[in-house]
Amino acid sequence: MNYTRAVLALGSNLGERSDTLSSAVADLVDPPEVRLLAISPIVQTKAVGGPPGQPDFLNMVIAVETSLLPEGLLRHCQAVEKKHLRVRGVRWGPRTLDVDVITYGDLASADPELTLPHPRAAERAFVLYPWSLIDPAAELNGERVGELAARAADFADLVPFDGFGEPHGVAGAES
């Protein structure tokens, strides 16, 4: 059976955000067709886009290897979102869980259902920074994800989240 490495980004800004992310990771890697390779620390971020006044997001990235085809992986991610009561209302609105397929091997696709690599990942520190922590050599569009993260408009708003008390600032991020 052939396995392909994929990077998935998870986010939550409604409900028990940390618990949702933890159980979503378990759900994502539950079937034998999806194996967990790496899991990033969680970062807390302001909502990017969407309606104003949203609660902060918790975000993380996981690397997996999967025997699912890209469309099958997308359907699996959407099923996990649904299990965690994701409601698709307002674009970029608040949600219990968001799971995005960021990369699927080296596949490039302009399919509107699943554009790969994810079309906005290269400008989102909340995806790039956690990804760089689990794979410092990772590249997106020919550039290291850590370098892209440092240039992203939302980089200064990232704070590590340990689940206890107030989060602390990311080293190198300026307030």
**What's the Cα-to-Cα distance from 7 to each of 1, 32, 94, 127, 142, rounded to whole Å?**
19, 17, 22, 10, 16
- The amino acid sitting at 41 is P
Q: Name the maximum alpha-carbon separation found in the chain.
A: 48
Among the options 17, 27, 86, 157, which is catalytic? 86
Contact present, 21 and 9 (Cβ < 8 Å): no
* Active site annotation includes 98: yes
Q: Is residue 35 flagged as an active site residue? A: no
Determine which one of 100, 135, 154, 157 is catalytic: 100
Catalytic residue among 27, 95, 124, 157: 95
Examine the residue annotation and report whether 56 is marked as an active-site residue of this protein: no
Is 134 within 8 Å of 39 (Cβ atoms)?
yes
Q: Which of 5, 19, 35, 98 is catalytic?
A: 98
Active site residue 157: no
Burial class (CB in 10 A: 0-12, 13-18, 19+), 9: buried
SS3 39: strand
Instruction: Give the active site residues.
Output: 86, 95, 98, 100
